Every structure is written in C-alpha cells, then in structure tokens.
A and B are shown apart, each in its own frame.
Chain A
Amino acid sequence: MSEFKSGFFVGGESCNGRVLVVDDEPDIRKVVRMTLQKAGYDVLEAENGEKAIETINYGENRLLLDVIICDIRMPKVNGIEAIAYFRQNYTRVPLIVLTGFPDTDMATALLRQGVVDYLVKPVEGEKLKASVARAMEQRELAHL
C-alpha cells in the first residue's frame, strides 16, 4: 500500500521518509542504514560530500529527500563544505551531524546555522531515531 509522507509518495511502499547518510566509513553507513531501515526509513548512502551533492541532485531525490545525516571529516568535499551547500540549495531539508570528534565550537556554529542535531559517535539507535524523527517533524513543518 502506498503511503503519503512528507507530502510525497515514496516508491509505492510503506516509508517513514527518505534519509541520506553521508560518511566515508562504509561500516558507519551500514549500521545507520540498519537502524533506520528497521524504523521504516528509506536510506540512501554517499561516501563523501561530493557524492552526497550528486545524490541529492539526482532525479526524484531533489524532491523526496527528507533528512541528511552527515559526517564532518571526509575526503574530497568534507562535511562542513557539504553542509554549506545543502543549507544554501536545499534549505528545507533538515540536517543532522554525526561525527567522531566532539568539537564544541563547531557544534555551536552548526546548530546556529540551523542543523537539527549534532551527534557524536557512538550514538545509540534510539537517540539516532529520535533525532531523525525530530528532523522529519521539521521537514513536515517546512511544507506547511
């Protein structure tokens, strides 16, 4: 049965939303995908900021992407550069930072820029899901 979420139909299957996970570590993408898929999210992956920008600009993702979870320390286009791009070009897509390095100054600056959450690895599944759920609420509010 098709389900209406975030104002869009997604793939004809039940889906709580579409999440893009940007991290250079395949292991991290794997566990985040595992956690979020169990919670009913459709998960896309990108291995760095450059790929993330390609992914969000590809086909229906432009419209259907609900949340971006982004690492900071990555090759090519790093998290800071990628987030700046998303904030400028996809203002309605909420962003969650998931980083291995806690940096208070960076966290403050990113939260001021409108990032929904700044999570430091390792983060529990429940906390990650709660953060994505908050981001989804923000996403839906943006469509009102």
Chain B
Amino acid sequence: MTIISPTMSHPQAENQGSEPAPASPPMRVAIIGAGRGGMALLDVLHQISRIQIVGITDQNSSAPGLTRAQELHVPVYDRVTDLITHQGLNLVIDVTGDPAMESVLREEVPAGADVVNGQTARLLWVLVQHESTLQTELLHAEKLAGIGSFAAGIAHDMNNPLQLILGLAENLTDEPDLEAVHLQAHDIIDAVKRTTAICRDLTSYSRRSSLRQDCLIGVGGKLDEALKIARYAVALQDIEIRKLYQPDVVVKGNPDELLHVFVNLITNAVQAMEHHGTLTLETHAMADATQIRVSDTGSGIAPELLGRIFEPFFTTKPPGKGTGLGLYNIKNVIHHMNGTIGVDSQIGRGSTFTLTFPSESGADERTTSS
C-alpha cells in the first residue's frame, strides 16, 4: 500500500509506510511559543514530511498550540531548556517575541542547531499564515469547481419534482373529485419539500469551511451525507453500495472538510467504475486508531501512477474533467487531522483508499457532529 503520512514521527506511518524513504533525514525543529504564531507554524510544518517537529513549549500551559500539539502527537515540553537541548536538533524557532529568551537560546542551544527569532521568526509566522490561508482557499476553489459537475444531477433532481408539480397543478384546474384534489395538493407539497432539500444540501456543501471548528464527527453519518451529495456528480443507480459501518465510529476534525474528502473519494470511485460495480464504505474503530475505507471495483490505478496521485495538478481525467487538486486537497485535510491516507489498487480489479486516524477517546464529553 502506498501511504502518504504527514510526518515521519507519526507512529502509524512508521508501522505502515511503504512510501519511499526521503533522500536525506528530516529537519528536526523545535518551536518555542504556542500562541497563535506557534500554532500556525505547528499546523503547517507538521504537514511537511521533510520536517520533524521534536517538540513545542510555552510558559502559558493553556496556550492553544499546546492543545493542538497533543492532538497531533507532537511532544509538549514544560521547560525550554529540556526542549532545546534535544539530541540532533537542527533548528529552533522562537515565536515568543520575548527579548529575555534570546540570551537563553544563545547559551543553551547546542552547536550545530540554528535559531530563528525576532523579526525573522515573525516573518516566518506571517508566511506560514499566508500558506495556511492559501490551502483553505484552494480547498474551497476546488470544491466550487467540482460543483460545476453537479449540473446534470441537480437538473435531474430538480426537474423531476417540478414536472410532478406542474402536472398535478394542471390536473387540479379541472379535477372534480375533492378527495383527489386533497391528495394531489399533498403530493405537490411533498415535491416542493424535496426540491428545497436539494437547495439546502447544496448550499450547505458549497459554503466555505468554517475555520478552526474541529470537533468529533460521526463517520457513518458523514459518509451517508457524502453519498447524497456525490449522487449529483455521478450516477449511482447502477452502483451497488455496501455500507460496513461499525457503530459510533468518530474522528476529530472539521466536518465540512471531511465531507468534502468523502464526496471526492466516492465520486472518484464511481467514476472509476464507469457506472457499474460495487462501492464499499467501511469504518473500523481499533484500540489505537480509526480506519475508514472507500473501495471500488473499477479500473484501478497503474502502479507507476500510484506514487503521483496525491501531487497537485496530477490527473488522469480528460482535460476539463478534473482539476488535479482533489486528492492533493484530501491529503492536506487528512494530514491536518493527523491522519494518513493510503491506497491499494490493482488494474482491472479496483482501488481502496484507507484513511487512518488516531483513535478518539472520551467522545461523549465533547461536541459531536454527524
């Protein structure tokens, strides 16, 4: 299986990784300061496989970056000196803005490790925030581009109830039977409700993902929601859908972004089957990890392309049919959730995309979104 993991430090990535080893060892980075700047750095650097964040620290134990670090399984240090004397450190990034920190770093940082602080660190923070904004914009742009392909499905689902409404209304103009009038009026009301539900689903899906709204997400419910959306993009009538959901499987992340991930994976799977085959959606909660699998019985992906499918602008679809950003954005969302994405594929047999996330305990204590 080809696994794309966010960092080399991720325990599951080490166990599963058959991704080619990088040419040089990852840069080992320590972050001092876990406020907005430290957290922004953590979020972006964490996604880069060539960077290993060895730890983060902050004087304020309730700094938001420390909570985020725990979610990402990045070590949190109580003392600055314990962190910066870490074996094999390459770079210390100090985003505290505290002049006193400079002398500590000068004395304690071992030879061979560089320090970025002051205005340079501030510049780095600004660049990282810019990168983070671009990623969010790219995700939204790709989602809107995908909605263009919904036209046929939307037209089908809107025009069918409209035909019913028009036909019944025409009939009512000269329907003498009062009971029939009542029944047909109710049919019209139901048809209007179906039409408005389509608008509601699509309006909700096309909205910009809300920033920093990570919560626990019921995976089965989100997969079902994605199926409803995906059917606008691809015809599901002749696809057998197998749902193998373990109950109460949850992951932590942004519900809008995870929905987008599922819609993309399901759409790709159905397109690979050319409208005939079996789509399998599976969820598994294990002791230390949660897995979600989206499998198809379609054409499969050539082995020489497997390593490239997560690259930006890589697509095997004809011009105008795909942006080449779908799987790239999926990878970014999954990495943001501290997960990994892997793919198994056989030509002529189909493909399985496996998403693996750290298991979430204490689900009942926090907000859950389905």
Question: Could you list which residues of chain A lie within 8 angstroms of chain B, going by C-beta atoms?
Answer: 24-25, 27-28, 30-32, 34-35, 38, 73-76, 100-103, 120-125
Contacts and interface: CB of A to CB of B under 8 A. Distances in A.
B152 A122 contact: no
Contact of A124 (B152, B156, B170, B237): B170
Contacts of A73: 152, 156, 235, 237
B164 interface: yes
Given A25-B160, A28-B163, A35 B170 contact: yes
11 contacts: A31-B166, A73-B152, A73-B156, A100-B155, A101-B151, A101-B152, A101-B159, A103-B152, A121-B160, A121-B163, A122-B159
Interface of B: 151-152, 155-168, 170-171, 187, 191, 235, 237-238
Most A-side CB within 10 Å, residue of B159, B161, B167, B237: B167
A31 B164 contact: yes
Top-9 shortest CB links A-B: A31-B167, A75-B237, A100-B159, A121-B159, A100-B156, A121-B163, A122-B162, A122-B163, A122-B166
Contacts, number: 70
A125 B166 CA distance: 8
Nearest to B166: A122
Contacts of A125: 166-167, 170-171
Nearest to A23: B160
Given A27-B191, A31-B168, A123 B235 contact: no
B297 to A, nearest CB: 17
Nearest to B190: A27
Contacts of A34: 167-168, 171
